[in-house]
Amino acid sequence: MANSPEVSSTSTAARRSVNELTKLRNLGAAALAALNEASQYRPKAPPPQIIINDTGFAVRIDDDINTYADPTELPAQLAELPERQLDIVFEGRASLDLSFVVPNGPFKDLEAMIDSELAFRSPFQRDQCRWFWVAHETEKGDWQVEAAIVLNGSIDWVLDAFAAKKKQVAMARRHEADGTVRVAVHPDWAAGKAAHPDFTKPSHIWQSIPVVLRLPLFAFMMFAVSAIAFFVVQTVQYNDADNRAFSANATISQLATSQAASRALQDRRSMGDAKLALIGTLAQLLPDGVWLEQIAIDEDRITITGYGPSAADVTRLLSTLAGLSGIEYGSPVTRDNTQNLERFRINATLTGDLS
């Protein structure tokens, strides 16, 4: 009996040690189980990217990039990729960047306004290019639009290769020079739709009209319809001679309207051809290292904005074109020390054909 307390004390300490070891073992087992479970849910890898640039194309898978100069190699490279959905990335001069602001409005009307603004600002005719864009609401309630315009010749061969190998476009991306994403969206033309909506349909024509102008336009249309109806009622009361005179005047008016519409259409096509001719001439004239941010043509005035190693060299080269005169800086030349480039804005007058 004298040894009983000592035996009891020793057993209690032993049991405490065993309990502590059991708890540690259970915690370790739970931690290993959690690690094994977490390893089964790895993050999904991003889709491969087809990069379109000035020299050809490249295929990027994770951090591996393989470049190709021959576009005919794209179908073979697509066939080796097991993924069905791929991203298309435009770098360098593969696309033209546009940035502008549109007023606030219903989302359905905003899309129509943005498409109309892009059609107006684009230096290319609508059937010669595609575009994709994103819009962010500003603090003032307006919408800041960032867009990229791509010539059909720069993307059709890619889409044809995708269709031949049964691939789908996941995202269309426009990257800055430093690799940051400027625009990333799933465009309509990536899903097999037309490059742009058919604005010849009445519904698209109405959607392309700004919201603030719809009510006045509708009132004017109602007034015009009422005036026409009143005019028709009065015309019925005229004699046969008056009816023949009215018919002749209506025919002359219709011919004049048709001629005016034809001239307006021809002027718009001529302006588009002038923009294309100017862009083609500048692409051949300007050396490597000079890239243009924007070209604006207003009647005979031309504004060119871009970057280059020397703004003076750009003005000197432009002065060699016989069709340009009055070449001057539209704003002071600034220098981007991070890229060692000068930003310029040059104004000129178009006096004839560029050669």
Q: Say how far apart CA 244 and CA 149 lie, in whole Å.
A: 53
Instruction: Provide the token pair at 339.
Output: 């890229």
pLDDT at 246: 73
Say if CB 348 and CB 302 are below 8 A apart.
yes
CB atoms inside a 10 Å sphere around CB 114 = 18
In the chain, where does the domain assigned CATH 3.30.420 lie?
49-197
In the chain, where does the domain assigned CATH 3.30.70.2830 lie?
271-350
**Amino acid code (one letter) for 248:** A
- Of the candidates 102, 113, 105, the one whose C-alpha atom is nearest the C-alpha of residue 209 is 113
Name residues of the chain where pLDDT drops below 50. 1-10, 41, 193-200
Pairing between strand 181-185 and 168-175? antiparallel
CB atoms inside a 10 Å sphere around CB 52 = 21
CATH of 271-350, one of 2.70.70.10, 1.10.3720.10, 3.40.309.10, 3.30.70.2830: 3.30.70.2830
- Of the candidates 142, 152, 150, 77, the one whose C-alpha atom is nearest the C-alpha of residue 114 is 142
pLDDT at 235: 67
Q: Say how far apart CA 84 and CA 165 lie, in whole Å.
A: 9
Q: Say how far apart CA 144 and CA 99 lie, in whole Å.
A: 7
Pairing between strand 341-350 and 301-308? antiparallel
In angstroms, what CA-CA distances link 346 with 27, 259, 306, 332? 71, 37, 9, 10
Dihedral of CA atoms 106, 98, 132, 43 in degrees, nearest 10, equals -100
Residue 188 DSSP one-character state: G
Write the class of the CATH domain 49-197: alpha beta
Say if CB 314 and CB 354 are below 8 A apart.
no
pLDDT at 162: 92
pLDDT at 346: 93
pLDDT at 199: 45
pLDDT at 217: 77
